[in-house]
Chains A and B, each alone.
Chain A
Amino acid sequence: MDFISAFMVNSTVQAITPILLAALAGSLCARVGVFNIAMEGQLLIGAFCAVAGSHYTGSAAVGVAAALVGTVVFSLILAYGATVFRGDAVVICIGMNLLASGLTAYLLRQLFGVSGVFSDPNIAELAKIRIASIQSIPWLGWIVSRQTVLTYLSWALTALVAYVLYRTPMGLRLRGVGEDPEAAGTMGIDVRRYRVVTVLAAGALTGLGGAQLSLGTVGIFSEDMSAGRGWIAVVAVMLGRDNPLLAALACVLFGIADALSVKLQAQGLPNQLTDIVPYVVTLAALVISYRRKRGTRLA
């Protein structure tokens, strides 16, 4: 019973949030035909802006707002680079990831005079919302209650993204733009505009993810703290085949794998070994989904 504690379930749920938001962003971009693999850098920019905003004002809400604005501005590179300037999205994204890593480390030194890790009592963290009627229920209380507002928002956004994509005229147009931009253009759709707006909206989603990363637990920024979460989100997008709901499911799977690795470490296994668990699960999931895809084609 005590193999996985309720507290750990709680921390797993909040750890999923940034990956989930990034995966939603990636799914949206894929739907308009922009292969976004810059989520790693976008999360990092979001995390940095959130800490900076929170530090200067002492308000977590301002921190989140700063993360939104900062990441959307950062995403302009991809939004315009891949449309107006006709750049290759993958190349642009690699550049953005490198830029985010260097830029945040540089600004950390310039603005706060530290390198490596920045923590300060002035950084306001996101509050954990306790829902009185639920929090006393065993297990469920730890999953559904005691989370940050961003975690609840990420669940709502998952539903919203799926609704917009599959139930609204805008979603239909988005899907068309991704499948055949030329055909969409002949039906009077401004393909470029749809792409720019979608990439920026995806930027906002990753901004929220970044804020959760730095303000969701202890209110701290460390260099390269996105630590591969953006890449896991890329894998989730691919596993979900651009469907935001399936991508969310993949994120939950990764969260469970992550919790498992922590647990195994607590059991006394060396952490070098347990750290690979999420990645092994990722690889296994990719292989399985690839085999399944091949299977359907041959049938």
Chain B
Amino acid sequence: MQMVELETAGIVKRFGTLVANDGIDLSVARGEVHAVMGENGAGKSTLMSILYGMQAPDEGSILLRGQEVRFRSAVDAIDHGMGMVHQAFKLFNSLTVWENVVYGREPRRGPALDRRAAIAQVGALAERFRLSVDPTARVGDLSVGVRQRVEILKALYRDARILILDEPTAVLTPQERDGLFDVIRTLKADQRTILFVTHKLHEVMAITDSVTVLRQGRVTERMATRDTTPAEIIRAMTGRVVNLTVDRKPATPGAAVLDVQGLTVGTGAKPVVDKLSFRLHAGEIVGIAGVAGNGQTELIEALTGLRRPDGGRVTLSGRDVTEADVEAHRAAGLAYVPEDRAVTGTARAASAADNLLMGYQRKAPFTEGLRLNAKAVAEHARRLIGRFGVKIADETVLVGTLSGGNLQKVVIARELTHQAPLLIAEQPTRGVDVGAIEFIHAELVAERDRGRAILLVSAELSEILALSDRILVMYEGRILADLPAGAADEDRLGLLMAGRTGQAA
């Protein structure tokens, strides 16, 4: 029988009328990797912030090695041996690795910071847990995967016995993810306990020992990983059977809708987008894979008219739109689901009806002379809300109050209704729960079958692989490979994303 490291009993947390955690019992054994799963809004984040001392529970208790504890702050939790790696890193980019790690708990020599001791300690810690990091490197120069190691080092430097990893693989390449898994195994061998928050099933199956599933603030399932199946976990998360694989017929590409020739963004020897060329045909989904920061964002900005390219030519449905603005792009036949739904995709202070109208406001029947036809606008909004299952009281509610998944549905609803020949979808399911992912994927495939050309940009390799008919891998502003879907798998794409062509060719 393993010792219980961390336990919660009947944790309740309310925000107004919403009950985020409704009597959660959690039991985590020492030295195990414990997955906490659930859809968005299931209460994972609330539970983790309670465990890390950022919020106090309204009811219930936390037991650490059998002793009841009450964290007054995150710092208090850290002093009790808790550590957390947030999804958005909390690092100082202008400072070095060792400065970030020792920050707030610096070794001293007299009044001064003992630089040499700090570097030695951080180096030793990194070596012990096989986190290869140069302690003197500047954090701003490091890749996302290495920055994550710095975050883990920060927790270990404070001697964290329990490490909470919040969606740790969301930003990693497959190779970086495997590296993280190695680190997790090393930590486990050292009898450290890991809470692994995720909604990626294959990772849960690969690395965890047990799983606790939350739905609507309650624990719906508690099981050993080896005794369960992905289908069982999904049922516990959603309360129904979800089809994970996307059903789709082979594509029947038609005429070229988008023709990109020698597109360049940025100047100098190494532009962000470097003489990039590709074609996108009606009736196909082309996925762009790549580690964030390899020019995808700039490419999409140039293709949508948000940014003027510095060279090359873009033709959309036979029209040269290289120098055109966003409105002209839209008129030429572009629909766009932007990466950041809260800032670019919607106007938070406007109602759902207004947000769903955007882009149609000059068209009949929404406009009458100089006035908007309020009735037509409201009807249009209600129709889309119903069809896309947006959870919202009515169409007059401000979208700023919606959850991430619902907000994304508003954007998807508006853009899919545009009937433009080209749809650019950037991270269409980021932060969206399993049920909504299934729906959005099915809609994208249906649009393809109706003859639309879809350009899909996603950090989620499984999504790229599930939806794309063709995959372009971007690396340092260039297309490193153009693969038919059948020729691509996760390993091969991962190597290409890291810029290695040798093994893949």
Interface membership of chain A positions 162-191, coded 1 if the CB is closer than 8 angstroms to chain B and 0 otherwise: 000001110111011001101110111100
Which listed residue, B74, B103, B111, B268, touches A176 by the CB 8 Å rule?
A: B103
Closest to B110 in A: A168
Complex contacts, A168 vs chain B, CB 8 Å: 111-113
A182 in contact with B90 given A167-B113, A168-B112 (CB within 8 Å): yes
Interchain nearest-CB distance for A135 vs B (Å): 34
- Contacting A169 at CB < 8 Å: which of B94, B106, B154, B267? B106
Query: Which of chain B's residues have a CB closer than 8 A to the CB of A169?
Result: 106, 108, 113
Whether A273 sits at the interface, judged by CB under 8 Å, is: no
Q: List 18 A-B contacts (CB under 8 A).
A: A167-B113, A168-B113, A171-B113, A172-B95, A172-B106, A175-B92, A175-B94, A180-B90, A180-B91, A182-B90, A183-B90, A183-B91, A183-B92, A184-B103, A187-B103, A187-B154, A188-B73, A189-B103
B410-446 at interface with A (beta carbon < 8 Å): none
- Beyond A175-B95, A189-B104, whether A167 also contacts B90 by CB under 8 A is no
The winner among B73, B99, B106 for most chain A CB atoms within 10 A is: B106
Residues from chain A with Cβ under 8 Å of B153 in the complex: none
Closest 10 CB pairs of A and B: A188-B75, A183-B90, A169-B106, A187-B104, A179-B92, A188-B104, A167-B112, A186-B90, A169-B113, A176-B92
On chain B, the number of residues with a Cβ less than 8 Å from chain A's Cβ atoms is 22
Residues on A with beta carbons closer than 8 Å to the beta carbon of B74: 186, 188
Question: Please, how many angstroms separate the alpha-carbon atoms of A169 and B95 in the complex?
Answer: 13
Interface size class, chain A: 10 to 19
Contact: A172 with B93, CB < 8 Å?
no
Q: Is the CB of B95 within 8 A of A299?
A: no
Chain A residues with CB under 8 Å of B94's CB are 175, 179
Given contacts A167-B113, A169-B106, A173-B104, contact A180 B92 (CB under 8 A): yes
- Contacts A167-B113, A189-B103, A298-B268 known; list 12 others, CB within 8 Å: A168-B112, A168-B113, A172-B95, A175-B92, A176-B95, A182-B90, A183-B90, A184-B104, A187-B104, A187-B154, A188-B104, A298-B267
Q: Are B112 and A172 in contact (CB under 8 A)?
A: no
A175 to B104, CA, bound (A): 12
| Interface secondary structure of A, over-half rule | helix
Residues of A whose CB lies within 8 Å of any CB of B are: 167-169, 171-173, 175-176, 179-180, 182-184, 186-189, 298-299
Is A172 touching B90 in the complex (CB atoms < 8 A)? Answer: no
Scan residues 261-295 of chain B and give those whose CB is less than 8 A from a CB of chain A: 267-268
Judged by a CB distance under 8 angstroms, whether B78 is at the interface is yes
Closest CB of chain A to B293's CB: distance in Å? 16
Tell me which residues across on chain B come within 8 A of A298, comparing CB atoms. 267-268
Q: Given the complex, which residues of B lie within 8 Å of A186, measured CB to CB?
A: 74, 90
Q: Which chain A positions have C-beta within 8 A of B154?
A: 187
The smallest beta-carbon distance between A168 and chain B, in angstroms, is 6
Residue among B91, B104, B106, B154 with max Cβ neighbours from chain A (10 Å): B104
How many whole Å from A171's CB to the nearest CB in chain B? 8
Instruction: Identify which of B78, B93, B111, B113 contacts A188 (C-beta below 8 A).
Output: B78
Kindly state the separation between the CA atoms of A167 and B110 in the bound complex, as whole angstroms: 11
Contact A179 B113 (CB under 8 A): no
A173 partner, pick from B93, B103, B267, beta carbons under 8 A = B103
Please measure, in the bound complex, the distance between the C-alpha atom of A167 and the C-alpha atom of B113, giving whole angstroms.
6
Taking a contact as CB atoms closer than 8 A, the residue among A180, A184, A299 that contacts B268 in the complex is A299
- Nearest chain-B residue to A297 (Cβ)? B268
B141 to chain A, nearest CB (A): 14
Residue of B nearest to A298 (CB): B268
Please measure, in the bound complex, the distance between the C-alpha atom of A175 and the C-alpha atom of B139, giving whole angstroms.
14
CA distance A184 to B100 in the complex (A): 10
B54 to A: closest C-beta gap in Å: 9
CA distance in complex: A183, B91 (Å): 6
Query: Are A172 and B268 closer than 8 Å at their CB atoms?
Result: no
> Contact flags (1/0) for B86-122 with A, using CB distance below 8 Å?
0000111111000100111010100111000000000
Interface membership of chain B positions 134-155, coded 1 if the CB is closer than 8 angstroms to chain A and 0 otherwise: 0000000000000000000010
In the docked arrangement, what's the CA distance between A176 and B104, Å? 10
Report which residue of B103, B112, B154 has the largest number of chain A beta carbons within 10 angstroms of its beta carbon. B103
Contacts of A183 in B (CB 8 A): 90-92
Rounded to whole Å, the gap between the CB of A280 and the closest CB of chain B is: 32
Instruction: Determine the residue in chain B with the shortest Cβ distance to A169.
Output: B106
Measured CA separation A168–B154 after assembly (Å): 19
The distance in angstroms between the C-alpha atoms of A176 and B99, with both chains bound, is: 9
How far is B93's CA from A23's CA once the two chains are assembled, in angstroms? 25
Query: CA separation between A86 and B95, bound complex, in Å?
Result: 27
